[in-house]
Amino acid sequence: MERGPSPEVVAEDARWALADLATRDLTSLTDAEIEEHAVATAELLRLAEAAHVSAMARLDASGAWAPSGARSAAHHIAWKGHLPIQRAKALQRCGRQLRELPAAADALAAGRITVDHVRLLAHAHRAAPEAFAADEERLVELAATHLFSQLETVVRYWVHRHEPDLAEADASSQLDARRVDCSTTFEGTVVIDALLDPVTGAIVARELARLEQELFEADWAEARKRVGPSATATDLTRTPKQRRADALRLMAERSAAKPAGATEPRVLLQVLAGTASVERMCELSNGTVVTPGQLVPLLRWADVERIVFDGPSKVIDVVVRRRLFTGATRTAVLARDRGCTHPSCDEPLDRCQVDHVSPWSRGGLTTQDNGEAKCRFHNLEKADRPPQPAA
What pLDDT digit, counting tens, does each position of 208-222 carry? Answer: 998 999 999 999 999
Spatial separation of the C-alpha atoms in residues 112 and 47, rounded to whole Å: 8
Mean pLDDT for 361-365 is: 63
User: Closest Cα partner for 24 from 41, 42, 44?
Assistant: 41
Is the CB of residue 291 less than 8 Å from the CB of residue 196? no
Calpha distance 382→139 (Å, rounded): 32
pTM of the model: 0.68
pLDDT confidence tier of residue 318, bands split at 50, 70 and 90: very low
Angle 228-234-239 from CA coordinates, rounded to 5°: 120
Give percent above pLDDT 90 in the chain: 39
**pLDDT-derived band at 200, boundaries 50, 70, 90:** confident
358: pLDDT confidence band, cut at 50, 70 and 90? Answer: confident
Count the residues in the chain.
391
pLDDT at res. 40: 86
Please give the distance of CA 277 from its chain centroid, rounded to a whole number: 21
**Of residues 324 and 334, more confidently modeled:** 334
pLDDT higher than 80, residue 82: yes
Domain ranges of the chain: 34-162, 179-256, 267-383
Mean pLDDT (the chain) is 81
The DSSP bridge partners found for residue 271 are 282, 306
Instruction: Say if residues 284 and 299 touch (Cβ distance below 8 Å).
Output: no
From residue 389, how far is each of 189, 314, 360, 378 by CA, in Å?
58, 23, 10, 19
**Strand 190-195 relative to strand 179-184, pairing:** antiparallel
Give bridge partners of residue 373 from the DSSP assignment: 354
DSSP-derived pairing of the beta strands 282-283 and 267-273: antiparallel
| Average pLDDT of the segment spanning 91-118 | 94
Q: Which residues contact 273 (CB under 8 A, 6 or more apart)?
A: 279, 281, 306, 307, 308, 309
User: What crossing angle do the helices spanning 115-127 and 102-109 adopt, rounded to 10°?
Assistant: 180
